[in-house]
A and B are shown apart, each in its own frame.
Chain A
């Protein structure tokens, strides 16, 4: 949602109009990035005692609308506080994120009057309905840029191969190349090709293929040491991801943290994501 200039049938406090005099409503935004979240600190600045009183009396509230058009993430925060902290998982955002703030009526206000109305209104009173916008605090757009080689994306450090000869149908791993190779039998590879084109299936594929590949990788590093792998692309990428989680890829970590745990932390809880994806697919099927 982008805020557009439009004329409301009653006065609205906004920097786009002078419906109110000696009054203002705006916001300040601080954005910081955590390990896997984006943190927003939104400070709302309202200069109008009567609207402040409406909020204090529970007749109006602040609304913060956050939307990322690219990922379809959308949320609404309703509050009477003028400082709000919000953390959003990083994977839910990509590209433009629009943050819009409003003050809206929480209930019907039959004879709304504000002593700061512009004199053009000549002492008029207005009937506000629940949900009517009283103030517009503006819109701030931020850009969330993902690392090009985000670790969890299969093409970055994993390659899925078809087994040349179907002598063994089990999945195989090879970590000696620049990418971690996951080899599937003919039939599984065809199925993989089919499913990898369905975005909602990706978390499931990650759990089925990437998690065991990473467990195998961490086990191999534990057994054989980092030495011969350190210059490989996949090693550097895994190291960078663990660093983002405040973990080093060294002997101590490999000895003390089980491989299946390291694999899951690296992939941002892939099993949970896979379950969520499957449930959402099931729910969609039922709706259809």
Chain B
């Protein structure tokens, strides 16, 4: 698995009460299957955050998630992705997102 990078990344909190965030991004490379890894962004280091209820909004598809990973299929270079997910952390926070996939 390699970090395949993301472009035009945008994150916003879409439902604060549910700690629900929306993430928009475009992969830098085509990579088949892979996962997004999401961490709370700390001052000194990042902290793992548990994710639940992830959905691919554009394809109206529920995504598997485990710990701080959201598993996605058909990672395609420059293709816009819009994913909604909830985190188990009540405070509004800034995040760091990395996309991993298999090198094509």
Contact = CB atoms under 8 A, between A and B. Distances in A.
Interface of A: 1, 4-11, 17-19, 118, 120-121, 124, 126-127, 129
B91 to A, nearest CB: 10
**Residue in B12, B41, B43 whose Cβ sees the most chain A Cβ within 10 Å:** B12
Given A7-B11, A7-B23, A7-B41, 11 more contacts: A5-B96, A6-B95, A8-B94, A9-B11, A9-B12, A9-B13, A9-B92, A9-B94, A9-B95, A11-B12, A118-B10
Most buried by A among B8, B94, B95, B97: B94
A120 B12 CA distance: 10
Interface of B: 8-14, 16, 21, 23-24, 41, 43, 92-97
A40 B9 CA distance: 34
Give the interface centre of B10, B21, B41, B97 by most chain A CB atoms within 10 Å: B10
A7 B24 contact: no
Chain B contact residues, majority secondary structure = strand
Contacts of A10: 12-13
A1 B42 CA distance: 12
A127 B41 contact: no
B54 to A, nearest CB: 16
Contact of A19 (B10, B14, B43): B10
Given A4-B41, A127-B16, A9 B10 contact: no
Contacts of A120: 10, 24
B89 to A, nearest CB: 11
Contacts, number: 44
B8 A18 contact: yes
B69 to A, nearest CB: 16
A1 B10 CA distance: 24
B13 A7 contact: no
A195 B43 CA distance: 36
B70 to A, nearest CB: 14
> Chain B CB within 10 Å — which of A5, A19, A120, A126 has the most?
A120
Nearest to B96: A6
Contacts of A19: 10
Contacts of A127: 16
A6 B45 CA distance: 12
Nearest to B38: A7
B21 A6 contact: no
Contacts of B93: 9
A287 to B, nearest CB: 24
Contacts of B9: 7, 17
A18 B8 CA distance: 8
B11 A8 contact: yes
B41 A9 contact: no
Contacts of B95: 6-7, 9
A168 B11 CA distance: 76
Nearest to A19: B10
A178 to B, nearest CB: 47
Contacts of A9: 11-13, 21, 92-95
